[in-house]
């Protein structure tokens, strides 16, 4: 199992939020990458949470050029041309989120063009008042009318490299992953690896996930960048 720090960027700077809002400024992403190099992180995900209909290729190129570990990029991916450009900036894999619901065949087209190990699908979910998981897009702002079970069945057939499951409710709360959600996804994604994201407390969650042997990777944000009850900015993680 892999442990993957997630870095969020907006207008050239790095942030981390809670439940997809209340973003706190972390610093210059390039400096963060240098620290991650020194700490020899295994892998990273980079997500642009800004107005990302336009991808900031200059910045993401600088970021990837600095990193001697693999990075997956997500944010604003809505055409094959953009995927091509992102790969050219030095990324191994590209994350598709909102646009998979706009164009049903987009993931398949992307897989055909760039290979199945290159394309990751991300799904953001939030529990409704009645305890049912709902799918959201556009950084959690837009609820879409699609059944999660059905979506996972479809994704399992499409042959994407991996699926990222993001719990909006747990994001940034450091209260632990949503294990009920993990269970649900496990039963649906029989052929496809998935990474869990949202709520990681750190080692405790990584150990549970490792023991369970279900998720292929734990994505974590806050526990790598904040420390103590005042959430002072750390960008480091000591065990």
Query: Footprint of other proteins on this chain (CB under 8 A)?
Result: 2, 37, 40, 42-43, 61, 64-70, 84, 87-90, 92-93, 112-118, 161-162, 191-193, 213, 216-217
Q: Please indicate whether residue 171 is annotated as part of the active site.
A: no
CB of 144 to other proteins, least distance (A): 26
CB of 85 to other proteins, least distance (A): 8
- Residue 40: exposure state from Cβ atoms within 10 A (0-12, 13-18, ≥19): exposed
CB of 74 to other proteins, least distance (A): 16
Tracing tokens 């609820």 back to the chain, one arrives at 143
C-beta of 120 vs 168, nearer to other proteins: 120
C-beta of 23 vs 69, nearer to other proteins: 69
Q: Using alpha carbons, list the distances in angstroms from residue 7 to 15, 25, 153, 205.
A: 7, 12, 29, 19
C-beta of 21 vs 58, nearer to other proteins: 58
C-beta of 74 vs 172, nearer to other proteins: 74
- Residue 239: exposure state from Cβ atoms within 10 A (0-12, 13-18, ≥19): exposed
Tokens of residue 206, six digits: 């990584």
- Please tell me whether residue 162 adopts helix, strand or coil conformation: strand
Q: Which of 38, 103, 104, 124 is catalytic?
A: 124
Q: To the nearest 10°, report the CA torsion of 57, 62, 66, 67.
A: -10
CB of 34 to other proteins, least distance (A): 12
Catalytic residues: 124
């Amino acid at each position: 199992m892999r442990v993957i720090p997630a870095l969020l960027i907006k207008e050239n700077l790095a942030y981390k939020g809670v439940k997809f809002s209340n973003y706190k400024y972390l610093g210059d992403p390039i400096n963060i990458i240098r620290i991650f190099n020194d700490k020899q992180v295994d892998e990273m995900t980079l997500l642009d949470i800004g107005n990302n209909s336009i991808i900031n290729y200059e910045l993401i190129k600088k970021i990837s050029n600095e990193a001697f570990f693999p990075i997956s990029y997500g944010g604003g991916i809505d055409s094959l041309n953009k995927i091509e450009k992102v790969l050219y900036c030095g990324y191994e894999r590209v994350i598709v989120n909102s646009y998979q619901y706009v164009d049903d065949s987009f993931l398949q087209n992307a897989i055909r063009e760039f290979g199945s190990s290159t394309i990751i699908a991300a799904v953001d979910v939030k529990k409704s008042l009645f305890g049912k998981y709902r799918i959201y897009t556009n950084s959690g702002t837009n609820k879409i009318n699609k059944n999660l079970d059905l979506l996972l069945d479809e994704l399992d057939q499409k042959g994407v490299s991996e699926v990222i499951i993001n719990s909006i409710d747990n994001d940034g709360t450091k209260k632990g992953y949503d294990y009920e959600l993990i269970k649900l996804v496990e039963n649906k994604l029989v052929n496809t690896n998935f990474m869990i994201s949202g709520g990681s407390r750190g080692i405790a969650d990584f150990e549970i996930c490792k023991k369970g042997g279900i998720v292929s990777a734990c994505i974590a944000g806050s526990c790598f960048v904040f420390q103590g009850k005042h959430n002072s900015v750390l960008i480091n993680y000591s065990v």
